[in-house]
Structure 1
């Protein structure tokens, strides 16, 4: 959606895919983070679920698939650079999210077509103070915020939510994240600064929460998080447990609903705000914008999320199903967007064309 100065636009000078869909197939490398020392087997299974499913989708169409774990030794790059397309599922290296954009930057610098967002978008969106500043400059509604450095202004509105300034996937967000008095605010900031380099304090917006998804230029049906079943006394927010600990009280209490039941006028307003947010952050590939309504029904932008979770049971896939796409169609469209941007429409059609026979998958 951004202009041609983006790194992805330079890829148009790259090589074309090696062969047609009806012949030898397209070479697709799927990148992923193999994990850190403290990852559980369940953590690793969660990553590999999407890797394996996406590999199967393209493998059954006759394309040549390599599943490549990304490590600091850079051996992954020697394999990835020979691919016609890199399907990027790497959200960090050894569990460190700050390395995510470096992987994408390496691929962009080499002119290799890659799915999802650019280095610039990933880096800017992960650093919430930078993203908030850019969004505010574009005239978008952002709840009042500050980076916790020493004393918080006594005039800062409460309740407020305290969270890491440079993490994603709800890391560092739990039931104690929302504070309603100055003493609790000070205690929460002190506890968070011991764990994270920077801490963001932001005015809490207490109304309905919505998600607007994008794949290329396509806006997906709006989703809503229903917090009506949250445990008594818990703030209606999407915590880390609610997002990742299946069966936990926070998970059971935060139920996604798609499509959301919203009047058309509100839906149009949410989409307009989300679209400008996505374009402001130079979003491309696929992404999700999170918004909330205040007591007066006004939407506020919470976060811009490039490359959100692509598992079949995740939010973007749920929105795609509401649009009439199955999971395989969502995956194909994400790949098509990347190849179309790098190589043009012909290469994208090449990817989607079925081959004569499926090919085996290899893991680097």
Structure 2
């Protein structure tokens, strides 16, 4: 194999590959990226056995072929090469080396046989559809903060993507929860997604997928089976196993009887929460909300550190209410609001609160209260 490729193109492809690779693994080949050159394209493939990413980029292919080389090492070398450089990669299979040359710099890296590289088995997909990048970005960006990091509840370690019924008909829905807060985001159901099985997309996959969704003009081809999900653009294909588990019935924790309504400027609310939480003890980070007519008082009382209080003008016309929340959860939920106003719906001090953006019910958030 012998190719020449622009540094910027190579860096982007290798960066995508090395982020999938597990830094600590007992199988040496999994630290490597598989480079395959053919025609006028080069593909870079990396896997951790749960996720596989393939990035195809244009290059000058002098001699077709394939090899595998340490992904992190290759990324570091390319990252440190000067902008605008043309990089020449040449594999010597007999010697088990890959030479990298750019300008006056040259490197030689050890390779492993391409035959040892595990390729994820192809799957029969039950549903194939296309979705605009901004639609998928909104679904995953607004829900991922609520993914659980508790390994024992592995079925909560991802975003549950499924087809659901809503007021206006069937929707494509993403839900994430860790038991303390919940995010439920809806989008119009794309043609072809009707038969999609509900799948739990792992946290790491959600992070990798984000890199495919930056281009607002891009259309993402999505394929879903009971065990795998695949997202593809013309250049990049991301395939992932889904979490083998049953997502709990989240509809039971979404309150329907909350009638006490508070409307507040989302940015002003987030900044006020952040300010008063400065004095709270890291362990509890509890913030008390005292609601009276058109007035909200946020307060924190940490006996070992101090106290803080801030008043905000809000739209509220119901009974007086005192309720406490984890400051971090309030901040994360408030930061999801794209519009000016956040609408909070309360019932009592011991029951979960609901939040949405204005009258938009396509994105709703639930947060459990704390004793304060």
TM-score (norm. length: structure 1): 0.20
Q: Which has the higher strand share?
A: 2
Higher relative contact order (CA 8 A, sep 6+): 1
TM-score (norm. length: structure 2): 0.20
Greater radius of gyration (CA)? 2
